Structures are given as structure tokens and as C-alpha cells.
Amino acid sequence: MDTIKHNPARLYNCDKTGITIAQHKHTKILGLKGKRKISSLQSAERGSLVTVVNCLSPTGHFISPLLVFPRKIMKQELINDTPPGSIHVCHPSWWIQSEIFSQWFLHFIKHTKLTKDDPVILVLDGQYSHTGNLEVIILARENHVDIICLQPHSSHKMQLLDKAFMGPLKAFYCQEIEKWLRSHPGRVVTIYRIGELFGNAYKRAATGEITANGFRVTGLCPCDKNIFRPYDFPLSSEH
């Protein structure tokens, strides 16, 4: 943990989230008084889910994301206008497979410029594709990455991406969908629009202020072991 004290830029947190085409809420709906049915903006392919792997540091350094599209074959239209430097894969399942996470980890190594004298700490959840991934463990040892896995049932307090980044990202994404629908009356959003809409939302969410707040409220940076109280982690009722 001395790495964090001396150089917080070498601490990173990684987590995934899912975004869907239908993932938007309208801030206001106006209709005639007494009218029971009110039309609203709609999007197509409800349930289509793209998994996004995000990673960032306390100093606002963002590792460009990985997007996993629920398809067997990649098409250029899917990745148009995604965040610069992002990487993209297709898989019938939206779940992060071990080989996909290995691909992301190589992407992470490339963009962090690791050396023996300048290692990094990467904070992950306990998903098997992370903890049980032998390829990632070997790569971490060879490339000076110290991996820390969050304890089970603690991510609601310690997963800073959930606490400070995913919320604004999804809110901005919803706003981008609604804005696009209003600008294109009579048309629907399809999976081929996700790259553009997510890219715009990502630009708005990827700020140093958001990342610094996330690391602070989780006690990761500055390191604060007293930020939580016993009632934050209640004992399980199972025996």
C-alpha cells in the first residue's frame, strides 16, 4: 500500500457495467388533463445489453474502456464513435469470459507503462474471471501489477466505480438516448447507435472530480481505514 501513499496515480480500480438500448427515463411527460394514454419515446431491441469494462485512477487517468457486444461477428458500425482508444469484442453472452478479461488486462498493461521501479495496484471484485484467471495472474507478476480483490459483500461500500462513476455515466447515457430520439422523430435507437451515444456519455462522465470523489468515499485514496463503521457491514443471518 506504500505505492498509494507515494504515488496515487499508480492505483487503479476496474469494474464492469451493462448498458441497454432501452435504458432511459424521461425527465418530464406532458399530456392533456384527463387523458389516460400518453405516448412516449421508444427504442428498439429492448434487452440488448452491451458490457463495458471501465478503469480509472484517483488522479483522473482513465483506461479507455472495453465494450462487449452481444453478437458473434463484429461489424464496423457497432464501434463508430466509441471512446477513443477503446477496444471491442463480440460474444453471444454479455458476461465477461476469462479470455475477454485477459484481453482487457493486456490493454491495461499497454496503457499504464509499468516498470519494476514503478508498479501499479489494481483493485478488482472477486469475479472468477479475475481471481481464477491464471493467465492474468501470470501477466500481473511479469508486468509488476499488484492485484487486490475486494472482500465478498463489500463492493456496495468499496467499489468506487459503483459509488461515483457508474451513476453519472448511466444518467448521461439515458440523456443522450432521449436527446437522439427527440432529434430523430419517427426513428428508433438500435444497437448500432450505442457506440455514438455511449461515447458522448463517457466524455461527460470521465472527469477528474468524479474519480477523486469515488476514491475518497471508499477510503482507498487517501487511504482511510476508519471511514466505515461496523454497521456498514452487518453480519450474515445465515448459520
Torsion over CA: 182, 185, 191, 196 (sign): negative
Decide: helix, strand or coil at residue 1. Answer: coil
Where does the pLDDT of residue 221 fall: very low under 50, low under 70, confident under 90, or very high at 90 and above? confident
Per-residue model confidence as pLDDT tens digits over 163-213: 778 888 999 999 999 999 999 998 888 889 999 999 999 999 998 777 777
- The pairing of strands 49-56 and 62-69 is antiparallel
Q: What's the alpha-carbon Rg for the chain, to the nearest Å?
A: 20
Which carries the bigger pLDDT value, residue 215 or residue 169? Answer: 169
CA distance 19 to 34: 35
Highest-pLDDT range among 8-17, 158-167, 179-188, 229-238:
179-188
Identify the band that residue 148 occupies on the pLDDT scale cut at 50, 70 and 90: confident
Q: With a cut of 70, say whether residue 30 has pLDDT above it.
A: no
Provide DSSP, 57-100: -TTSPEEEEEEEESSSS--HHHHTTPPTT-EEEE-SSSS--HHH
Its pTM stands at 0.79
**110 pLDDT higher than 90:** yes
Q: Say if residue 90's pLDDT is above 60.
A: yes
Domains of the chain: 2-21+43-222 (3.30.420.10)
Give the pLDDT band (50/70/90) at residue 223: confident
Mean pLDDT of 4-20: 76
Strand bridging mode 11-20 / 49-56: antiparallel
Give tens-digit pLDDT for 35-86. Answer: 444 344 444 455 578 999 999 888 888 999 999 998 889 999 999 999 999 9
Name the pLDDT band for 157 (thresholds 50, 70, 90).
Answer: low
The Cα 214–Cα 47 span in angstroms is: 29
| Percentage of the chain exceeding pLDDT 70 | 73
C-alpha 170: how far from chain center: 10
Q: What is the mean pLDDT of the chain?
A: 79
Among 129, 114, 148, 136, residue whose Cα is nearest residue 219? 148
